Chain A
Amino acid sequence: MKKEEVPQDGNNMHEGTFKQLFYATDNEGKYVPVTSVGWEPENVAMQQAWEEVHARVEKARQLVLSGEISPISYYMEKNIMDLALLASYVSKFQWQVKRHMKPAVFKNLSERTLQRYAAAFKITVDELKHIKE
């Protein structure tokens, strides 16, 4: 890649403050570091990954509102976690976390357990119990 070919396809994901470094060749073929504000294919891929996250969060939100799953699933998606990661944050087995995702089980969780989940999601127990409509 030549220095002039280093793409500068900006988008708002870099928040205008962030440039990444590429190695490209100058006129004499010598490698030099060049900064870039972004590249279209990477932007597309990144945007798509976020769209997927948002879609999962929205789906979980609907399911919580319709009473099919507990808010733990919603916050797990919102924090881009999966079952394994969430389980390790709350020091539980995956099957336990899965159980806590059932509204009937969630409603009887102890304050201490709720506190653990809230801490993992960096929210209050109250926010954990009542997700935003």
Chain B
Amino acid sequence: MSDIQFSHVQTAHCESGVISNIFRHYGLHISEPMAFGIGAGIFFGHLPFLKVNGVPGTTYRIWPGAIFQRVCKRLGVKMQSQNFSTPEKAMLELDRILEKGTPVGMLSSVYYLPYLPAAYRFHFNAHNILAFGKSGDNYQISDPVMDHITEIDPKSLAEARFAKGFPAPKGKMYYALSVPEQVSLQKPIKEGIDQSCHYMLKLRLPMFGVSGIRYLAKRLKHYPEKVGERKAVLYLGNIIRMQEEIGTGGAGFRFMYAAFLQEAANLLQKEELGVLSQDLTRVGDLWRNFAFNAGRVCKNRAVNNVSYGELSEMLMQCAAEEELVFKRLSKVKL
């Protein structure tokens, strides 16, 4: 039984957190915000037709897996990633790789992770966790959103890895084949920023990027008369949860991206990025203010079109300010 040393650092978001934790194991120090920025994780999307438990989906980040792919590509890290047809094969291969002392990342459903508080255990299938060893039959787990390392029994882990639904993890696991010890971050940062600006400003679809925020603002205004009071409150609640629940670092990843811009400013000696970081922090505060007021509407359950109108206005302001930040960011010469 291998007993490798693994230094676990709690992060806000699971995907950028696992990246940061795996890389550190191999001596490559990339902070969570840096991984998030290089992977161009910041985004916005509102998909009224993609309903989860009858509630329209809203996202503040890019789709699962994208940050990972991009960061590995941009930093020249080689990862091995595989899916499995049966839990038996998946667990066997996991054991084989762990035996070598290699930490293994896995996709899992939070519904089957017994160490998480019950209140968080919905059927969410794209949670990333790291196994780094075994203690008896149990697996030693570094779950990036937890402040300490934990353990999981093999049965629960197999269930979490083979949860059904969308997206089905299918036992997906990944581990590093080669990690460079030193990298130049200049080009990866530039590519990450360029990509984020493109996704936030230039996708010609109304549901995504800055236009997506306006799209949501317009729809939200009419929730009470369109879907009724009860559902309107649920819809609103879901927006708050996507923005503030575990994993976003606050304000739907806006603070995390601002932290990235600040780190990039210091690394590349670019004053402008520092200023933009401050501006994005203020946008993040606007988002928090929106969530605060939306929370009050949820709590009072008041059918009051004025309140939805006001919330809509707040989102419009978030959109306007965010558009300014990304337009200026796209013009910074890196």
B291 lies within 8 A of A41 (CB) = yes
Query: Min CB distance, A61 to chain B, in Å?
Result: 18
Task: Count residues of A near B (Cβ-Cβ below 8 Å).
Answer: 37
Q: Could you say which residues of chain A place their CB within 8 Å of the CB of B250?
A: 1, 6, 22-24
A80 lies within 8 A of B145 (CB) = no
A25 lies within 8 A of B281 (CB) = yes
Per-residue CB contact flags for chain A residues 8-28 toward chain B (1 = under 8 Å, else 0) read: 000001110111111111000
User: Is B136 part of the contact surface with A, judged by Cβ < 8 Å?
Assistant: no
Query: Min CB distance, B54 to chain A, in Å?
Result: 8
Task: Count residues of B near A (Cβ-Cβ below 8 Å).
Answer: 53
User: Is B258 part of the contact surface with A, judged by Cβ < 8 Å?
Assistant: yes
- List CB contacts (< 8 Å) of B42-72 with chain A: 53-54
- List CB contacts (< 8 Å) of A55-100 with chain B: 80-82, 84-85, 88-89
A21 lies within 8 A of B33 (CB) = no
Q: Could you say which residues of chain A place their CB within 8 Å of the CB of B292?
A: 40-41
Whole-angstrom distance between the alpha carbons of A41 and B33 in the complex?
24
Number of A-B contacts (CB under 8 A): 121
B281 lies within 8 A of A13 (CB) = no
Query: Min CB distance, A103 to chain B, in Å?
Result: 24
- List CB contacts (< 8 Å) of B1-58 with chain A: 10-12, 33, 53-54
Q: Which of B146, B233, B236, B278 contacts A29 (CB 8 A)?
A: B278
> Which secondary structure dominates where chain A touches chain B?
mixed
Asked whether A21 and B249 contact (CB < 8 A) given A30-B262, A31-B262, A81-B123, the answer is: yes
Q: Could you say which residues of chain B place their CB within 8 Å of the CB of A15?
A: 117-119
User: Is A124 part of the contact surface with B, judged by Cβ < 8 Å?
Assistant: no
- Which stretch from B90-98, B183-191, B198-206, B238-246 is at the chain A interface? B238-246
A20 lies within 8 A of B12 (CB) = yes
B255 lies within 8 A of A85 (CB) = no
Q: Could you say which residues of chain A place their CB within 8 Å of the CB of B294?
A: 41
Q: Could you say which residues of chain B place their CB within 8 Å of the CB of A49?
A: 122, 234, 237-238, 241
Per-residue CB contact flags for chain B residues 285-329 toward chain A (1 = under 8 Å, else 0) read: 100100110111011000000000000000000000000000000
- List CB contacts (< 8 Å) of B207-251 with chain A: 233-234, 236-238, 240-241, 244-247, 249-251
B255 lies within 8 A of A1 (CB) = yes
User: Is B259 part of the contact surface with A, judged by Cβ < 8 Å?
Assistant: yes
B281 lies within 8 A of A45 (CB) = no
User: Is A48 part of the contact surface with B, judged by Cβ < 8 Å?
Assistant: yes
Q: Which of B118, B164, B241, B245 contacts A89 (CB 8 A)?
A: B164
Q: Could you say which residues of chain B place their CB within 8 Å of the CB of A13?
A: 117, 119-120
User: Is B147 part of the contact surface with A, judged by Cβ < 8 Å?
Assistant: yes
B33 lies within 8 A of A46 (CB) = no
Asked whether A18 and B146 contact (CB < 8 A) given A52-B234, A85-B165, A89-B164, the answer is: yes
A23 lies within 8 A of B12 (CB) = yes
User: Is B256 part of the contact surface with A, judged by Cβ < 8 Å?
Assistant: yes
A80 lies within 8 A of B164 (CB) = no
A88 lies within 8 A of B164 (CB) = yes
Asked whether A41 and B244 contact (CB < 8 A) given A1-B250, A23-B250, the answer is: yes
Residues of A within 8 A of B (CB): 1, 6, 13-15, 17-25, 29-31, 33, 35, 39-42, 44-46, 48-50, 52, 80-82, 84-85, 88-89
What 8 pairs across the A-B complex have the smallest Cβ distances?
A: A41-B295, A31-B259, A45-B237, A13-B119, A88-B164, A45-B240, A23-B255, A42-B244
Subset of 6 A-B contacts with CB under 8 Å? A1-B250, A13-B117, A17-B117, A35-B147, A41-B244, A45-B244
